[in-house]
Structure 1
Amino acid sequence: MSEFDALCANDGDLADLRVRVRQFVAEDRDRFGWEPAIDSWLTSWDAGFSERLADAGFVGLTIPTEYGGHGLGFLHRYVVTEELLGAGAPVAAHWFADRQVAPSLLSYGSEEQRTRLLPGIAAGRLYSAIGMSEHGAGSDLAATATRATRTEDGWRINGTKVWTSGGHRAHFAIVLARTSALDPEHRHAGFSQFIVALDSPGVTISPIVTLDGHHHFNEVTFDDVAVGDADVLGEVGAGWHQVTAELGFERSGPERILSTATLIIGVIKALGGQDVDDRTAAEVGDLLGRAMALRQLSVSVARALSAGEDAATRAALVKDLGTRFEQQSVELCADLLEYVRSEQDAARLRAVLATARQHSPMFTLRGGTNEVLRGVIARGLGVR
């Protein structure tokens, strides 16, 4: 396979899958009237869309058929994700469960957990949040203070998680907690993961409303929340290893380069309907060239995951370079928007630009700050 063919990600049955997803999205938007959005994987929650998407066969692609999924590979999910984000589709409801929780259950979950949770995830009807970040422990997860204490019949969890996307709508959260005393010489030891129902007694969910008035972040407090042994995910004490693998799925996907896709595509389409000067054409070419280079890196990670390879370092690199590109693309598009002559197109795109500017500061924070990720990359390359 040539490098160009690999970049296209249309080999085998991927091209047919791409066409089918594109058709579904166009028809669903025409019928239900949703509008393409910036950052749709984080902010655009539409349970009905997630259910229809799953019924069409486009959720749970990497989940084995015995658990209600489709038994396909990460490249299949990559293609579906790319088409959905390029269209700004409202995918937030099922996003975290399908992207992170399902692979974690398949890697570390018990058979009972897989049987209980995976069919609902594949059906687009079971929603999950991720309980990692805390006050004072955002990107430095080793500073996590939430604690799980052993009891006669399970565990008691106490602590607070913050920036919990979709926590007010999710059915459960995967919570990282310390299960043994801190060892200053081994800060990453002694963590475990728990599957916690968010309607459990002792769980308090408080909204965090962003400057644009939207509520998708939350602060989640756990006050003596009882969790049984059946809801320990993986091995007690192996939480750090598990969460590091999980972050690979979070950091490497096309959402790290396509959060602003609706703005970029909209501006280029508007300019495509008119004559432009050489300078404008060069700026468009630079924008697309950078996007294509990042996409090539992101596709390579998807291919590595499909082959069962460790892609943690490359995933961190995708997230670092991709989210910086997303931020820079906002102002690049703002400059290009000045050349759009259609006032109707310009007015519509200015509204999209305003939303992109509000979200831009978050791009390099979520999933680990870029400064922390550069340390991950350096260690992965053998630098100490």
Structure 2
Amino acid sequence: MSDLDLAPPAVGLPPETEELRAEVREFLAKERADGRIVPRCDVWLSGWDERFSRELGARGWLGMTLPKEYGGHARGTLDRYVVTEELLAAGAPVAAHWIADRQIGPSLLRFGTEFQKQRYLPRIAAGECYFGIGMSEPDSGSDLASVRTKATRVDGGWQLSGTKVWTSGAHHAHAFFALARSAPVEDGNRHAGLSQFIVELDSPGVQINPIRLLTGAHHFNEVVLDGVFVPDELVLGNIGEGWHQVTSELGFERSGPERFLSTFPLLVALVGELSSAGDRLGDAGAREVGALVARVWTLRRLSIGIASLLSSGMPADVPAALVKDLGTRYENEVIEAARLLVDVPPDPGAEGGFARLLADAVLHAPGFTLRGGTNEILRGVVARGLGLR
């Protein structure tokens, strides 16, 4: 695929995945019936449930594309896609394993040493090892080349000092990938001299401070690295190649179904509310809901195509940025439609109901654009891919 081609291949899900889909749906229906899970919006951020993650691991639904020698199941990318979209559509609590399964596992497989693969991948596939991402910083935001966390060479490894922010789940996670500057900028090339390190979050010198949402919920964190020692065996990939590594990782982060299915439980509840309203919806409301449903299928088509690209090792950073930008805008439009089309009672009511889903989505919406890059940064990536900047 050339840099100017934003369209991923038109890939459909093979018929044999429907058996897997039915199996996942049956499992989720039982979990709901037993009261173990309740549908929520934005579950890949807010739904931390280690029991649920271990259950998925036991069923072979984590680490699905990893080789069997590392505890994986050597299944196809599209099999994993089916499981992922079913979990998100059901509003199931996937946050604990989310980052580890989505991007840490594939990155370790591509860039990690044998020691690192054996150390982490089997536990990731079992739903027993949880990771965060140490990219963003207080003054760098989505401009990753401006990171100021410094990595200094010391005997036997590296010493990291700096601050990372918006680190989802760091207060629960076992480790995170930290992007740091290991060499000064030369000749104005900010992309050179960056490296990635695996920081185990119980290491001396790591301080984790909560960044609470408007609701008071604790999902994001500030992670302060005060002279944290990282041994050579936990350097990810090659020193100085962090920019290449982290941009390939962003393809996994920006293009998945979570970019347009975080509010899907709300969309389902909205359709239910409007169906019960009958003719009161009116033609304009019907058109709006129909457009939302059509767009989610379009975004899904794009996302599946990118999953196919990533599985073949091809670059997908530009189309992934497009999906993330379009998905973020789409999810906010779902929220606006729900607010305008339904008279919402002042009391949100029980978990899983329309009003509660809407309330959670509204409170989480400001964070949609932060995760994986702001819309402005993503549009710049797309414009450069088109040769417009």
TM-score tier by shorter-chain length is over 0.9
**Aligned residue for 1:270?**
273
Question: Paired residue for 1:204, among 200, 203, 207?
Answer: 207
| 2:364 match | 359
Look up the equivalent residue of 2:355 and give its one-letter code: R
Select the residue among 223, 242, 251 that pairs with 1:248.
251
Q: For the Cα contact (< 8 Å) 2:248–2:317, is it kept in 1? A: yes
- State the Cα distance separating 1:270 from its structure 2 match: 2.8
The secondary structure found in structure 2 opposite 1:159 is strand
Alignment match, 1:3: none
Task: Measure the CA separation in 1 of the matches of 2:320 and 2:298.
Answer: 14
Return the alpha-carbon distance in structure 2 between the equivalents of residues 12 and 321 of structure 1. Answer: 28
* 1:283 counterpart residue number: 288
Q: Do residues 350 (structure 1) and 355 (structure 2) align?
A: yes
Q: 1:332 to 1:345 in 2, by over 3 A?
A: farther
SS at match of 2:66: coil
Q: Distance in 1 between matches of 2:231 and 2:52?
A: 33
Q: Counterparts of 2:373 and 2:11 in 1: how far apart (Å)?
A: 28
Alpha-carbon RMSD across the aligned residues, in angstroms, is 2.1
Give the secondary structure class of the aligned counterpart of 2:180.
Answer: strand
The residue aligned with 2:3 is none
Q: Structure 1's 147 and 29: CA in aligned 2 closer, same or farther, altered over 3 A?
A: same
Residues 108 and 280 (structure 1 numbering): CA distance in 2 closer, same or farther, change over 3 Å? same
Q: Call closer, same or farther: CA 1:247–1:81 in 2, change over 3 Å.
A: same
Moved more, 282-291 or 229-238: 282-291
Letter matched to residue 311 of structure 1: A
| Structure 1 unaligned regions, length at least 5 | 1-5
Say yes or no: does 1:378 pair with 2:383: yes
Deviations 1:299-322 (A, max 9, x none): 211122233322211100000111
Q: CA deviation at 1:183?
A: 2.4
Alpha-carbon distance in structure 1 between the residues aligned to 2:76 and 2:40:
27
Give unpaired runs (5+ residues) of structure 2: 1-8
Asked if structure 2 preserves the Cα contact closer than 8 Å seen for 1:7 and 1:295, the reply is: no
Amino acid aligned to 1:56: R
Contact 2:349–2:356 at 8 Å: present in 1 too?
no
Matches within 5 A, 1:316-331: 316-331=321-336
Q: Check conservation: 1:167, 1:218, Cα contact below 8 A.
A: yes
**Is the CA contact (8 Å cut-off) linking 1:327 and 1:361 kept in structure 2?**
no
CA contact (8 A) 2:162 2:224 kept: yes
Q: Does 1:70 align with 2:70?
A: no
Q: Residue 149 of structure 2 aligns to which amino acid in structure 1?
A: T
Corresponding residue for 1:188? 191
Separation of aligned partners in 1, 2:261 and 2:91: 9
**C-alpha spacing 1:242/1:233, structure 2 compared with 1 (3 Å):** same
- The Cα of 1:256 is off from its aligned counterpart by 0.3
The answer to whether the aligner puts 1:299 opposite 2:304 as a matched pair is yes
Question: Residues 246 and 24 from structure 1, CA distance in 2 versus in 1: closer, same or farther, beyond 3 angstroms?
Answer: same
**Aligned with 1:160: secondary structure?**
strand
Residue 151 (1) aligns with residue 162 (2): no
Q: Deviation at 1:59?
A: 0.8
| Runs of 4+ displaced beyond 6 Å | 343-347
3-state secondary structure, aligned to 2:199: strand
Distance change (3 Å), C-alpha of 1:318 and 1:347:
closer
Residues in 2 aligned to 1:183 and 1:74: alpha-carbon distance in whole angstroms: 39
Any conservation in 1 of the 2:158–2:232 contact (CA below 8 Å)?
Answer: yes
TM-score calculated relative to the size of structure 2? 0.93
Q: Secondary structure at the match of 1:275?
A: helix
**Structure 1 length-normalised TM:** 0.94
Decide which of 222, 246, 269 is 1:219's aligned counterpart.
222
Once residues 379 and 344 of structure 1 are traced to their aligned partners in structure 2, the CA distance between those partners, rounded to angstroms, is: 46
Letter aligned with residue 37 of structure 1: R
Using the alignment, how far apart are the partners of 2:344 and 2:149 within structure 1?
51
Q: How does 1:136-175 map to 2 (within 5 A)?
A: 136-175=139-178
2-structure distance, mates of 1:306, 1:145:
32
SS at match of 1:165: coil
Deviation at 1:72, TM superposition (A): 1.5
Give, in angstroms, the shift of residue 53 of structure 1.
1.0
Identical pairs, percent: 54
Aligned partner of 2:234 among 218, 224, 231:
231
Structure with larger RCO (C-alpha < 8 A, sep 6+): 2
CA shift for structure 1 position 8? 9.1
Does the CA-based 8 Å contact 1:9-1:79 persist in structure 2? no
> 1:7 Cα shift?
7.7
Aligned to 1:28: 31
Compare 273-282 and 119-128 and name the one that shifted more. 273-282
Alignment partners' CA distance in 2, 1:339 and 1:222:
45
